[in-house]
Amino acid sequence: MLAFLVRRTVGAVLVCAAVTFIVFLIFIVVPGGGPHGTAERIAGKNATTQNIINIEHQWAFDRPFYVQYWRMMKKMFDGSLVSYTSQQNVVSQIVQGMPATFSLTVGAGVIWLFFGIVVGVISALTAGRLSDRVITVLALIGISMPVFWLGLVARYYLAEGGMTTFFPDGEYVAFSRSPTAWFAHLILPWLVLAVLFIGFYGRVLRGNILDTVNEDFVRTAKAKGLTPRRILVKHVLRTSLIPVVTLFGLDFASVLGGGAILTETVFDLHGVGQYAAQSISNFDLPPIMGVTMYGAFFIVFFSVLVDLFYAYLDPRIRPT
């Protein structure tokens, strides 16, 4: 077990290293334009010539690419990555945005996992009947709606400043300031983000359950004379939920790592995702680089966790 852990950790570290190199490729190498052009880009729109020359120097754009890479890494990790449009330190901005992103992700995650499972089970148990068809239709519509559009529509129809005023209009309120306000401001974003996933998870679980029900070991369970409820819970669900749980781990990590960029932008939550979005529209490269790496690290970390959990759930995977 320890060997497995060590192996995965080493692998994760390697992946992270590769990720940093990819970020480097994407932002420094791909756009091209020579050392001056790259420096211009990093400097942002309102840079002076002196700024650009400084940057060229600091980032070593006139030196060979491995020096550039090394410089970039140094800047990332000693916290001196600075956005030139807003003159703010990228790392501190990310840290500032994390509470909002965390609150959004955890809340939505709980909702979508719970309802996804409920919907999937109901749908599978009543397969072919009306409730299943209704759920399938709703689920399909749910996964067909672009999250950001749904958010816009929700804000317009349900939040203050729009047609009705059931909910506060966007913005994030820290839990420490006011728990009720924190909650009220997050409900709409939670639901909007969860809708897509509930639809998807429900369908995945439904498919898994319907497949598992035909498995030989379920037949054996029936032959033992177990009650349908016990068969469902102990045999069918236990097996059908495994892929769902692993999926959840990865999706959760993805959203946490900035994948909720759209929801945050639409609801003005000032989380890490929105920070990334704003930087993009300003073509402000240092923050984008920072957020991209932050996101990647999260996913790698979570996929190690998911692997461990998977080994716990399915004994065949466990290293003997």
Partner 1 sequence: MAERLLEVDDLHVHFATEDGVVRAVDGVSFELERGQVLGIVGESGSGKSVTAMTLMGLTRGVNSHFEGQVVYKGKDLLNISEREFQDYRGAEIGMIFQDPMTSLNPVYRIGEQIVEAIRAHESVDRRMAQRRAVELLRQVGIPNPESRIDDFPHQFSGGMRQRAMIAIALACNPDILIADEPTTALDVTIQAQIIELIAKLKDDFNSAVILITHDLGVVADIANEIVVMYAGRVVERAKTRELFYNPQMPYTWGLLGSIPRLDRPRPERLHSIKGAPPSLINMPQGCKFRPRCPHAFERCTQEPPLENHVEVAGHLDRCWLDNEYKRAYRDATVSGGHTEAA
Partner 2 sequence: MAQRARETEFTLDTAAELADEASASEIRGRSPWYLAWRRLRRNYVAFFFLFVFLLVIVACALAPLYASHVAHSGPNANHILETVKVNGHTEQVVSAGGVINGKLVPSLPIAPTWFGGGGRFVLGADGPNGRDEAVRLLYGGRNSLIVGIGSSAICVFFAVVLALLAGYFRGWIDFVITRFFDLFYAFPVVLLGIALGSALAINGFHHFGVSVQPGSLWIPTLVISYVLVPYVGRPLRGQVLSLREKEFVEAAIAQGASPLRIMFSELLPNLASSVLVFFTLIIANNIVLEAALSFLGAGVQPPTSSWGTLISTGRDFIVTRPWLSLAPGIAIVLTVLSLNVFGDGLRDALDPRAKVKVQH
Contacts of 262 (CB under 8 A, 6+ apart): 146, 147, 148, 151, 273, 277
- 26 near partner 2, rule: CB under 8 A: yes
Which one of partner 2, partner 1, none is in contact with 81 (Cβ closer than 5 to 8 A by kind)?
A: none
Choose the contact partner of 238 out of partner 2, partner 1, none; CB within 5 to 8 A by kind: partner 1
**Residue with Cβ nearer partner 2 (153 or 183):** 153
The binder of 22, among partner 1, partner 2, none, by C-beta within 5 to 8 A per type, is partner 2
Q: Does 155 bind partner 1 (CB under 8 A)?
A: no
If the CB atoms of residues 100 and 182 are measured against partner 2, the closer one turns out to be 100
Decide: residue 176, CB within 10 A, 0-12 exposed, 13-18 middle, 19+ buried. Answer: exposed
Residue type, 204: V
Contacting range for partner 2; rule: CB under 8 A; set: 32-40, 65-73, 78-86, 304-312:
32-40
Q: Find the binding residues for partner 2 in span 248-287 (CB under 8 A).
A: 254-255, 257-259, 261-262, 265, 276-277, 280-281, 283
When the beta carbons of 2 and 30 are compared against partner 2, the nearer one is 30
How many residues in the shown chain lie near partner 2 by CB under 8 A? 52
133 in contact with partner 1 (CB under 8 A):
no
- Which residue's CB is nearer to partner 2, number 182 or number 272? 272
Q: CB of 314: closest distance to partner 1 in angstroms?
A: 6
CB of 45 to partner 2, least distance (A): 11
Binding-site member from 10, 140, 233, 317 for partner 2 (CB under 8 A): 140
- CA nearest neighbour of 108 among 137, 71, 150, 144: 150
> Which residues in the 204-223 window bind partner 1 by CB under 8 A?
215-217, 219-223
Give the one residue of 6, 133, 314, 319 binding partner 1; rule: CB under 8 A.
314
Burial of 167 (C-beta count, 10 Å sphere; 0-12/13-18/19+): buried
Which of partner 2, partner 1, none sits in contact with 75, Cβ below 5 to 8 A by type? none
